[in-house]
Amino acid sequence: TVHVLPQTPQLIALLTIIRDQNTQRGDFIFYSNRIIRLLVEEGLNHLPVKEHEVTTPLGRTYAGVRFEGKICGVSIMRAGESMEQGLRDCCRSVRIGKILIQRDEETAQPKLFYHKLPNDIAERWVLLLDPMNATGGSASMAVEVLKSKGVAEERILFLNLIASPEGLEHFASKFPKLRVITAFIDEGLDDKNYIVPGLGDFGDRHFG
């Protein structure tokens, strides 16, 4: 299932800055981090909480909730690494796994090079991080890696900034129980399988 962040004027303003070809790296990082924070908070909203009561300084009780599960971020290198700080800003000592997948720009086919994941990952909620979901090929390869480590589809939340309709369809048909949280769904893909209007290569704009 796909959850799109509320299209508030604030979010659209942030997206406008990072899509602008004249935005320089410092601003690109700062403003994309603000969107990433929103994605992480929205992702956390999808995790189950238990009832939890506290006493306030006024001696009154408050019947609240708390999250008791364990989570793990998994970034798809290189662009996904740009989302790690935003995750850490919300979850201070979160574990982070890495999957290195590179898309062949001639064929748009993803290739898996490396992965390193915490060994108890199957017991965790996984926040999969990649800012762009174009054909969906790279992210679905990452999901296959996670599934091979025993992570259930319903425990994976894929956080991404810009998705194409093609990428989302690919995901929905292959992994119906997986949740995708995206900030924006773009028009589609160009003949090189780049998202349009998009923002260019996220990894290049963030890392140089």
Q: Which residues in this chain contact ligand HSX in the complex, by CB under 6 A?
A: 76, 78-79, 102-103, 105, 108, 110, 130-139, 167, 193, 201-203
- Give 43 or 136: the residue with its C-beta nearer to ligand HSX: 136
- Give 72 or 128: the residue with its C-beta nearer to ligand HSX: 128
The question of whether 201 is a catalytic residue gets the answer yes
DSSP string for residues in 98-137: EEEEEE-TTT--EEEEEEE--TTGGGSEEEEE-SEESSSH
Of 1, 8, 16, 107, the catalytic one is 107
Max distance between CA atoms of the chain, in angstroms, equals 65
The question of whether 16 is a catalytic residue gets the answer no
The question of whether 92 is a catalytic residue gets the answer no
Of 19, 34, 37, 201, the catalytic one is 201
The question of whether 191 is a catalytic residue gets the answer no
Q: Are strands 50-55 and 61-66 parallel, antiparallel or unpaired?
A: antiparallel
Distance CA 97, CA 76 (A): 9
- For residue 116, the minimal CB distance to ligand HSX (Å) is 17
Place of tokens 């992965």: 115
- Give 51 or 191: the residue with its C-beta nearer to ligand HSX: 191
Residue 158 bridge partners (DSSP): 128, 180
User: Which active-site residues does the annotation give?
Assistant: 103, 107, 201, 204
